[in-house]
Structures are given as C-alpha cells and as structure tokens.
Amino acid sequence: MKIERGLADNSVNAYKDDILKLKVFSEEQNIEPKKITSEFLQNFISNLYDIGLSARSQSRIISGIKQFFNFLILEDELEKDPSKLLELPKIGRKLPEVLTIEEIDLIISKIDLSSNEGHRNKAILETLYSCGLRVSELINLRFEELFFNEGFIRIIGKGNKQRLVPVSKSVEKEINIYVNNFRRHKKIKPSQESYVFLNRRGSQLTRVMIFTIVKKLADKAGIIKNISPHTFRHSYATHLLEGGANLRAIQEMLGHESITTTEIYTHLDKQFIREAIISYHPRNKKKEI
C-alpha cells in the first residue's frame, strides 16, 4: 500500500489496524488465515455491528479486507477470494460543516499578531482557506513549491499526486511577512529548513498543532460549529461553487481523484439555496403579531 499505491502513513496504519481486528477474531475462533471462508467473514462483520461500530467504520474495514485478500490472490497465497461476496453497508452522506466568509474573517481577527506565532498562524489560516489544502499538504509545504511570480503553489497530495493551485496575493503577503520578519530569526533544526511553517522549536508542524490552533481561535471567536482545519477546505470549495466556479475546476483544485467526491459540494449549494429561499420568501416568513 505504501510503495505501490503511495498511501500515506495514516492510511496504511488504519488498514493495518483493521486487518489486525480480523486476525484477533480468527485466532479467537481457531481459524487459520488460509481457511477463512465467506461465511466466517460474514460472522466477523456481524460481530463488528454487534459491538456498535458505525457503518462508516464497517465500510472501511470491509474495504481493507477486500484489498488484503486481493493481495493474497495476486501473491498466489490463495486460490479463492472469500471476501468477494462481502457488501459495503449503505452510508448516509453527511454534509460537512462550512464557515461563512464573515466567520472566517472573525476567526482570523482573533489571532494575536504581537507574537511570532501569531503571524505564522495568520499565514496558515489564509493558506488553508485560500488554497483549500488538506492539513497534511499544509504541514509538508516547502519553499521550492512556492511559485509566487507565476501565481501558483505546487501541492503534493494523496498518492504523491501533484497539482498546481492558484495562490492569492493575500496568502503571498502573509507568508512573506511571516518568513521575512519572523521565521528568519528562528533557530531552525537541520533538515527542517525547507518547510515553510515551523513550530517555535524550529521543527515541522504536526497535524495536532494545526487542529489546536484552529480550535483555540474558533473558541475565541465564539464559533459554536464543530470545526477543524478541514472545515476551511470545505468552505473554500463551497464558496467557489456559490460564486459560480465549475465543478471540474474545483475537483482539480482539491485534488479529488473522482468527481463524485467533489459532488458533495453541490448538495451544500442546494442546502444554501433552500435556506436562502426559506429565509427570504414572503410565504415562508413568520407573520409578526
């Protein structure tokens, strides 16, 4: 998965954990891996349901099992695939939380610019929102991937796939302020110099740190929505769609392999339209007494 499919460490570890669940279950039932049957796998999935695992988690585990047995077939370890008849549970499409432009401006306004970290955090949030990046893409952003003169940044996404994302002047400005006035005075650890965003010890930022930054600022701004760094990516796509951007263009900017992944934002757009009609149409307004 890591070498041939180029999956991230987090994805590889998640699949490992899922296969480990199957391993433990088969050991409890005294079943050797090569003797696992379709019926046995059905019992395993039923057990996952019984212990209260969500449909989404079950779906991921089944997907991992299918890929695992497919690998065993390719390696000539098995002749028949016992997972062939496994069906993925139906998962209701959950619409992601989205921030309004006013809420994003409010969150950014709560950043304390009297500290070095404040200017870094402002550059981080501007980049997340203006470029629609995943957290992993943000923390791995390097200087050699900034092409400000051309108006683009190069992103290394899932599966090491590259894409060029237009970068706004506001992002360029905030990154330059952070880099030229604050970052250059920081003692940077060897091998970390190429990363744009660093922690106070001069090392690459972690996903957890970005989550913490966003949560603290959202609390300061009094935002009651359940938001994360990924919310800025959802907001980026939604605001593009509301502004009339082509869905294929949004797919390209987000780095989605399939257009069906991007299509969730059309549902958000319809929800936005519905809420607007309910709020402003005279037949939907409550009569004042």
Determine which one of 60, 119, 134, 183 is catalytic. 134
Distance CA 166, CA 152 (A): 4
Residue 280 annotated in active site: no
Determine which one of 142, 207, 220, 230 is catalytic. 230
* Secondary element (H or E) of residue 163: strand 162-166
Instruction: Please identify which residue in the block is written with the tokens 């987090």.
Output: 10
Residue 201 annotated in active site: no
Residue 158 annotated in active site: yes
Residue 120 annotated in active site: no
- CA nearest 108: which of 89, 92, 90, 129? 129
Determine which one of 21, 154, 158, 186 is catalytic. 158
Distance CA 161, CA 224 (A): 35
Residue 134 annotated in active site: yes
Residue 147's beta-bridge partner residues? 152
Residue 127's beta-bridge partner residues? none
| Three-class DSSP category at 153 | strand
Determine which one of 154, 186, 207, 256 is catalytic. 256
Distance CA 200, CA 230 (A): 23
Distance CA 16, CA 34 (A): 18
Determine which one of 119, 233, 234, 239 is catalytic. 233
Determine contact, residues 90/108, Cβ cutoff 8 Å: no
Strands (E), 3-161: 146-147, 152-156
The catalytic residue positions are 134, 158, 230, 233, 256, 265
